[in-house]
Structure 1
Amino acid sequence: MRAAHQASLADDRGEFAWSGRRFRTTAEDLERIWAMLPAGTDPSTVTVIMEPTRNAWVPLAAWFRRRGAAVVIVPPERSADLRAYYSKHTKSDRLDSRILARLPLLHPEGLHTEQGLGPGDPLRRSVKLRSTLVRRLTATLARLDALLEILGPGWHAALGSDLANKTPLKFLAAGYACPHTVRRLGRGRLARFLHRHSRGAWTEAKAEELLATAAATLRLWGEDLDYPDLADDIAIEARLALALTQEIKELDERIAVLFARADPDGILQSVPGIGPILGAQILGRLGDPSRFTSLAGVRAFSGLVPRLDSSGINGHHNGLTKSGDACLREALFMAAEHARRSDPSLAAKYHRLMVTQGKHHNSALCHVATTLLTRIAAYWRRGEHYTLHDTNGRPVDATQAKAIIAERYTVSAELRTARRTTHARPGTGRRSKESQRAPSTGPSTHHATAQPA
């Protein structure tokens, strides 16, 4: 990313005017490259084709767009396949630039002009950052839960099952996971600490419960455990969880402002199952749905479409391509889980996939998510709010929709749980340490032979 770029210039017949010219991401080098165009070239006829290398392409795309050129971003997998066709055993920046320069002749239908700023767009960047922070918070809380298990089961009962609440996090961040420290505090000071940080929700009864939990830990472990050292580890995880929670809260406020600016008419929030957070994540990662030439292009961009393997009279669909944005698929999957409970048409599709076709719960939700994305793009293009319809196409309100779903399209919890279960391949597990593919150590039982006396 810190090395020089290489550019090649080809005309409309694929003939090279020059190739392999090096330049860096500076205004001076870009001016020099632009000056190497043939005299009298109309900027609107220039197409700049780039392979995205991390975020290095963003300032280049913005600079060339200001000059009037069209900018096309080509997926690295596509350019790699074309390079392998030209030279299977050679990979160089010069060869890549020559292939990209000839791409309008090789694959003209695959050229899509890039209008946005990519990672430079604040909404796109913010929703991705929020998704990353949420995953970090989840991992931190899981580690915190595991450390509390060392002290004993009573701590989970005393602090509550949801460690994401600020009160237990502040309690643990103060180093009070040490039972000796809790006993030294006493009921009075501990009750005042809990009352202040919980805003009156935790009273002296909670302080007595924590004191009892600390005493139970001392009886369980005695002096075999280094309590202060474990409390320090727990405090670190709790402080990290508090910091991440605060960052997510502030980021939510910034995303709300950006989302209101991007969707002033509230089209996405009219979709069932989509609120400010999921709506911002979908719009931020999808971009303007109007930029796609078809609704099939929107579905393909998400990666929620199956692979097709067809030849002659044989053909079958494999798993999802997952070639699109993972953050977008995450938001659509969660939105589909809520939308199927509010929209009768989506509920009917989910019910048919689960009950009639025997699909896995996740597979059925992916089908619903694809349909939901198609509808979002269609309503966005028309500039209309989402409307609920029954399976016959008649408009219904939210109350009628839920009544229809409850009457006709409710999937039992037992079936949904069974469909959630994934059958793993037989192999070495915790219950059986014997490998299923290991050779037998005993004599063969299939072709037994008589042994001499």
Structure 2
Amino acid sequence: MGIDIAVRAPHQASLADDRGELIWSGHRFRTTATDLDHLWERLPAGSDPAQVTVVMEPTRNAWVPLAAWFRRKGATVVLVSAERSADLRAYYAKHTKSDRLDSVLLARLPMLHPEGLHPERGLGPGDPLRRATKLHSTLVKRRTTSLARLDALLEILGPDWHTALSGDLANTTPLRFLAAGYADPHTVKRVGRSRLVRFFHRHSRGAWGEPEADAIMTAAKATRQLWEDELDFADLAEDIAVEARLALTLTQEIKELDERIAILVTERDPAGIITSAPGVGAVTSAVILGRLGDIDRFTSLAGIRSFSGLVPSLDASGVSDRHGGPTKRGDALLREALFNSANQARRYDPTLAAKYHRLMVETGKHHNSALCHIATTLLTRIASCWKNQTPYELRDVDGRPVDRTEARAIINDRYQVPQHLRRARTTTTPNGTGRRSKESPSAPSPARQPQR
């Protein structure tokens, strides 16, 4: 059964037999129990639910309740990427696009490309850990944006404010100070040093006190002398307070979300197998578990590496064989977590450090390219540990088990990349206009002077 899923309009379903012959097509229905029961009744009499394969595209989140319903009925649910189904439609009907045609092509796909069908057993976006990790990433990025905006607004007051707040706006103490409207230099003068000391002491639990209050008083005085009466301090302080309150709210939401994620990870991985891998912390392990899904659904470790999108693309024809950059076909959040973990893991695992050293020094790889190789290796080992339910074990290149202290000593002694080589392999040539050359690459050439 092929289903073309719509978000607002009715879905369309078509049914084909094991030879690809259509039994019926163009059945319209919505995501309701009544419509789904009516659709299921249209199956041929005596059909075995285990022999029914439902093929659909993962259209936004509308596919999640449909997939769950069909799985409860005993059918096998297969998801096909929109790009693959579009390529198939272009092959059969290049100049025609309709919901009915899409459902017919999806219904016939099991006969056309059976080896490319992989059953979907999870809940996708319905999985709580998957949702939580995505929300965590979104909130962290929003807080980063808010803090950057806050830092930019403080620059209007002058450079002394950044120093007075210790340059750490992610700390809740300066955020509470700014949220209270104290970014107004006149307000700071009116409040006075003593009240500022009490404010800092109370909100920082004693970590901040007189030195910070003196720095704020000095910064406020410098701002008044710099601007005099030209700038509306009260209006700017209100804008800063809004950003500070937003950052405080996001910080609290992230803290509560971290606690919920920790509980979910403990339920999924009580033995701590994922976190036993080097470079994988609490947040990263949650991302790997949530975004990778059921690891057992992959038939091979190569399939897991391909799912990450970190493997290089291949363009081969005849005697030509060229590898490109990462395919980036998998989950972006999973790819980001693996990349960051790989950068830490190479500092603790001698085998990964040796591979990174070889890629950088001997092969001539760029730092990011080398980390992509390390990330796929790390993912393969994590998946193997999960399948075998054994923790990650650090080993030397000869296979001898080592502890973390000995591993760090081995890496520092053998696999340090020279700094000049690291700088050359870390930086990239910018495509835009540099500071020294203000001429745009597409600027017209200067006119030549006529020869005399």
> Could you say which TM-score interval applies, normalised by the shorter chain?
over 0.9
- 1:442 maps to 2:440: no
Q: Distance in 1 between matches of 2:403 and 2:261?
A: 29
Tell me the alpha carbon deviations over residues 51-70 of structure 1, each in whole angstroms, 9 at most, x when there is no partner.
Answer: 11100000000110111100
Q: Distance in 1 between matches of 2:236 and 2:400?
A: 61
**Selected match of 1:275 from 276, 281, 285:** 281
**Selected match of 2:86 from 77, 80, 86:** 80
Deviation beyond 6 Å, 4+ runs, structure 1: none
Q: CA deviation at 1:414?
A: 4.4
Query: Counterpart of 1:62 in structure 2: which amino acid?
Result: A
What's the C-alpha RMSD, in Å, of the aligned pairs?
1.3
Tell me the alpha carbon deviations over residues 101-135 of structure 1, each in whole angstroms, 9 at most, x when there is no partner.
Answer: 00011110110001000000001110111011111
For residue 314 of structure 2, what is the aligned residue in structure 1? 308
Which runs of 5 or more residues in structure 1 are unaligned?
Answer: none
Q: Distance in 2 between matches of 1:275 and 1:179?
A: 42
Change (3 A) 1:13 1:197: same
Query: Counterpart of 2:163 in structure 1: which amino acid?
Result: A
- 1:108 maps to 2:114: yes
- 1:226 maps to 2:217: no
**Selected match of 2:417 from 411, 418, 430:** 411
**Selected match of 2:37 from 31, 34, 57:** 31
Q: Distance in 1 between matches of 2:81 and 2:224?
A: 59
For residue 369 of structure 1, what is the aligned residue in structure 2? 375
Q: Distance in 2 between matches of 1:216 and 1:406?
A: 48
- 1:328 maps to 2:303: no
For residue 212 of structure 1, what is the aligned residue in structure 2? 218
Tell me the alpha carbon deviations over residues 236-256 of structure 1, each in whole angstroms, 9 at most, x when there is no partner.
Answer: 111111000000000000000
For residue 359 of structure 2, what is the aligned residue in structure 1? 353
Query: Counterpart of 1:442 in structure 2: which amino acid?
Result: A
**TM-score for the superposition, normalised by structure 1:** 0.96
Q: Distance in 1 between matches of 2:134 and 2:442?
A: 42
Change (3 A) 1:301 1:421: same
**Selected match of 1:194 from 200, 211, 214:** 200
Q: Distance in 1 between matches of 2:101 and 2:316?
A: 32
Q: CA deviation at 1:383?
A: 1.1
Q: CA deviation at 1:206?
A: 1.5
- 1:239 maps to 2:270: no
Q: Distance in 1 between matches of 2:30 and 2:16?
A: 20
**Selected match of 1:250 from 256, 268, 292:** 256
Which runs of 5 or more residues in structure 2 are unaligned?
Answer: 1-6
Query: What is the SS of the residue equivalent to 1:358?
Result: coil
Q: CA deviation at 1:438?
A: 2.9
Deviates more, 1:435-444 or 1:194-203: 435-444
Q: Distance in 1 between matches of 2:214 and 2:370?
A: 48
For residue 162 of structure 1, what is the aligned residue in structure 2? 168
For residue 4 of structure 2, what is the aligned residue in structure 1? none
Tell me the alpha carbon deviations over residues 62-95 of structure 1, each in whole angstroms, 9 at most, x when there is no partner.
Answer: 1101111000011111111101111112221111
Q: CA deviation at 1:408?
A: 0.3
Query: What is the SS of the residue equivalent to 2:413?
Result: helix
Q: Distance in 2 between matches of 1:412 and 1:429?
A: 27
Q: Distance in 1 between matches of 2:408 and 2:446?
A: 61
Query: Counterpart of 2:440 in structure 1: which amino acid?
Result: S
For residue 21 of structure 1, what is the aligned residue in structure 2? 27
Q: CA deviation at 1:428?
A: 4.1
Tell me the percent identity: 69
Q: Distance in 2 between matches of 1:377 and 1:179?
A: 56
- 1:173 maps to 2:179: yes
Within 5 A, what are the aligned runs for 1:140-159? Answer: 140-159=146-165
**Matched residues, number:** 446
